[in-house]
């Protein structure tokens, strides 16, 4: 292999693919959101894929292969959560795992599968020179239209489902000491997809939603750009043990960010569902150029390696 999609080219690559594929028919969403939305509108189907490649998404010194199996399924579950949907089933393609390694990867995959109610129903196996795990996930609507990235209008409240930066802090701790164990290392090794929160947000009137997979700054900016709104943030909820930079730029938190016009309806839905209240962090504005945290322009830092 020569060459690879480096970060500076990633958005270009996604634009290339989106232009090649085209937008899809009325009522469907193809490339460009957390998951594709397929018709019929009365019972939309959600469909997404996310891969983990050794040396890019994971390093065996920082977690077990069971942790890796868990993480790659959760990364896909989070794409369904970010649409306000429920997972239905997943398929898993593993290249480059030995027999024992495969057993370990599936141990974590199936723990997450049972915990979050998403059976692994098929897969493919192959030799390869490097370990690569690709998961595809199928989801269904939980009773509302799927919540896209593009639906926000000005004057809505911006919420996040929990404090940020724990996964990134956990990775920092593991890099310093592979034996470290803390709430932050758990957030990195065994993240939790916010499935109940995604449904509650949708039922509470969320107009736009995205998961924090690449970093809060960059993911929120994606939502704002897709919606054509600005964002003024008053708060940045930082997880205990994390730095503000990690909260802003660290990826893999898998919290959800969403906007909604009626904060009271959101609070009521989360309370009814017995979920921790989401944190209001700011407001959307009509000025698409505006992207501020406490009056200071916000860097859209984070990793750019996802297609949708």
Alpha-carbon distance of 124 to 94, in angstroms, equals 6
Q: Which of 70, 86, 64, 71 is nearest to 137 (CA)?
A: 86
Query: CB-wise, 102 or 226, nearer to a second copy?
Result: 102
> What's the number of CA atoms in the CB half-sphere (13 Å) around residue 256?
35
Rank residues 119 and 240 by Cβ distance to a second copy and give the closer one. Answer: 119
Residue 113 contacts by C-beta under 8 Å, 6 or more apart in sequence?
Answer: 73, 90, 119, 120
Binding segment toward a second copy, per CB under 8 A, in 96-104, 191-199, 229-237, 254-262: 96-104
Question: Stretches 89-97, 231-239, 276-284, 293-301: which one binds a second copy (CB under 8 A)?
Answer: 89-97
Q: How many CA atoms lie within 13 A of 149 on its CB side?
A: 24
Contact between 21 and a second copy by CB under 8 A: the answer reads yes
**How many helices (H) and strands (E) would you count in the chain?**
9, 12
Contact residue for a second copy among 41, 130, 183, 277 (CB under 8 A): 130
The residue from 27, 41, 124, 286 that contacts a second copy (CB under 8 A) is 124
48 counts as binding a second copy under rule CB under 8 A: yes
Q: Under DSSP, is residue 92 helix (H, G, I), strand (E, B) or coil? A: strand
CA 208 → CA 116, 156, 178, distances in Å?
Answer: 23, 10, 38
Give the one residue of 83, 120, 166, 281 binding a second copy; rule: CB under 8 A. 120
111 binds a second copy (CB under 8 A): no
The answer to whether residue 226 forms part of the interface with a second copy (CB under 8 A) is no
User: Quick one: which of 86, 222, 269, 306 contacts a second copy (CB under 8 A)?
Assistant: 306
User: Tokens representing 300?
Assistant: 């859209």
Residue of 27, 41, 117, 122 interacting with a second copy (CB under 8 A)? 122
Q: Which of 27, 119, 143, 244 binds a second copy (CB under 8 A)?
A: 119
Q: For a second copy, which is the closer residue by CB, 108 or 163?
A: 108
Residues 244 and 169: their CA atoms lie apart, in Å, by: 10
Among 100, 179, 274, 296, binds a second copy (CB under 8 A): 100
**Cβ closer to a second copy: 131 or 266?**
131
Alpha helices for the chain (secondary structure H): 7-21, 65-81, 99-116, 166-176, 183-189, 195-203, 216-227, 244-249, 263-272
Please give the residue ranges that form the binding site for a second copy (CB under 8 A).
1-6, 9-10, 12-14, 16-17, 20-21, 24, 28, 30-31, 35-36, 38, 45, 47-51, 53-57, 88-89, 91-93, 95-103, 106, 110, 119-132, 134, 136, 138, 305-308
């Amino acid at each position: 292999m020569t060459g690879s999609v480096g970060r500076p080219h990633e958005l270009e690559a996604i634009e290339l693919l989106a232009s090649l594929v085209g937008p899809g028919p009325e009522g469907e969403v193809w490339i460009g959101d957390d998951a594709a939305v397929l018709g019929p509108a009365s019972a939309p189907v959600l469909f997404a894929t996310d891969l983990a490649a050794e040396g890019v998404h994971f390093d065996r010194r920082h977690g077990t292969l069971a942790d890796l199996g868990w993480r790659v399924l959760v990364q896909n579950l989070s794409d369904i959560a970010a649409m306000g949907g429920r997972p239905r089933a997943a398929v898993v393609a593993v290249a480059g795992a030995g027999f024992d390694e495969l057993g370990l990867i599936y141990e974590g995959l199936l723990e997450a599968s049972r915990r979050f109610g998403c059976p692994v129903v098929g897969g493919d196996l192959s030799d390869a020179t490097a370990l690569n795990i690709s998961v595809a996930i199928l989801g269904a609507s939980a009773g509302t239209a799927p919540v896209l990235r593009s639906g926000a209008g000005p004057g809505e409240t911006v919420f996040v489902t929990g404090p940020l930066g724990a996964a990134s802090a956990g990775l920092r701790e593991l890099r310093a000491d592979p034996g470290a164990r803390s709430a932050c290392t758990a957030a990195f090794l065994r993240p939790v997809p916010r499935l109940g929160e995604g449904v509650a947000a949708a039922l509470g009137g969320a107009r736009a939603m995205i998961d924090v997979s690449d970093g809060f700054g960059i993911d929120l900016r994606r939502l704002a750009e897709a919606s054509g709104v600005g964002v003024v943030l008053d708060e940045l909820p930082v997880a205990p043990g994390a730095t503000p930079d990690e909260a802003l730029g660290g990826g893999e938190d898998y919290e959800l960010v969403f906007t909604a016009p009626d904060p009271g309806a959101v609070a009521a839905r989360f309370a009814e569902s017995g979920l921790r209240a989401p944190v209001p962090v700011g407001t959307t504005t009509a000025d698409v150029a505006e992207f501020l945290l406490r009056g200071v322009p916000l860097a859209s830092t984070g990793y750019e390696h996802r297609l949708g």
